[in-house]
Structures are given as C-alpha cells and as structure tokens.
C-alpha cells in the first residue's frame, strides 16, 4: 500500500506539471447512499475549455456537502490527458497521504512486533531474565 501511495503521489505530481487551473462552478450536488444508509453529496462541476463546456462529478463525497450550489472552485485540467480534478490539496493528494499514513502505522506495528523484544533488551537490559 505504501508503494501504491508513493506511485499515486508521483503520478499526481507529474499530472500537475502539465495542468492548468481554471474556474469551475458547482451545478449540482449528487446524492450518494452509503452502506450505513447515510447520504453524502458529490459536487457536479461545470467548466469551459476552448469554448467547450465540460462537466464532471467528483469522486469525493461528504455529508454535509463540502460545496454549495453556484460555488466557484479551482479546477486543475490537463488538456493532453483530458482529466480534471478539484484544485484542493486533499482532492489531489488525499489518497497519497491517507495511504502513506495507514502504511506507516502498519509498518511500525510490524517492526514493533518483530523487533520489540530486541529493542526492549537494548534499552532496558535489567528487565530481561537470563
């Protein structure tokens, strides 16, 4: 998972190097039902590139909604890849950070389990029965 997070971060960085920031407007809040039957909302965003009106729905949703109808947002658009994203740090690097944190916690727990006794012995040799 850590490798996946690093790769996603690298690809996001590469994508942003060739992207432009344009204005988009929230035109709809799309409801999504979750497993626990709570409703969250994803913004549907309209923006214009070269006089062409484009629309996309964010993969992120929240309850209450993060955005309001009519709100203007920065949109990061890569014309060569025809991909877009909301231009916020979390929308761009959220998976990288969350995946990296979860992986780091897992690695720390594994190392503590695997080498914990050796570390304890090194730090507090008087606590070890011979």
How many alpha carbons lie under 13 Å from residue 55 in its C-beta half-sphere? 8
Average pLDDT of the chain, as a whole number:
85
- Dig out the tokens for 20 from the structure: 């432009």
Condensed to tens digits (0 to 9), the pLDDT of residues 72-82 reads: 999 888 877 67
Residues in the chain: 130
List the single range of 2-6, 107-111, 115-119 with lowest mean pLDDT: 2-6
Q: What number of CA atoms fall less than 13 Å from residue 66's CA on the CB side? A: 15
| Per-residue CA distances from 101 to 1, 94, 105, 129 (Å) | 10, 11, 6, 36
Sequence-ordered list of residues with C-beta below 8 angstroms from that of 88, at least 6 positions apart, any chain: 74
By the 8 A CB rule, do 62 and 34 touch?
A: no
pLDDT for 130 beyond 80: no
Q: Domain-by-domain residue ranges, the chain? A: 2-127
């Amino acid at each position: 998972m850590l490798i996946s997070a690093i790769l996603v971060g690298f690809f996001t960085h590469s994508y942003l190097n060739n992207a432009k920031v344009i204005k988009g407007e929230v035109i709809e809040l799309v409801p999504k039902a979750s497993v626990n039957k709570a409703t969250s909302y994803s913004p549907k965003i309209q923006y214009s590139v070269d006089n062409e009106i484009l629309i996309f729905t964010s993969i992120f949703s929240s309850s209450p909604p993060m955005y309001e109808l009519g709100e203007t947002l920065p949109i990061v658009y890569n014309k060569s890849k025809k991909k877009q994203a909301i231009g916020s740090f979390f929308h761009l690097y959220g998976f990288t950070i969350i995946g990296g944190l979860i992986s780091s916690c897992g690695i720390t727990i594994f190392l503590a389990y695997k080498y914990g006794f050796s570390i304890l012995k090194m730090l507090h040799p008087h606590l070890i029965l011979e």
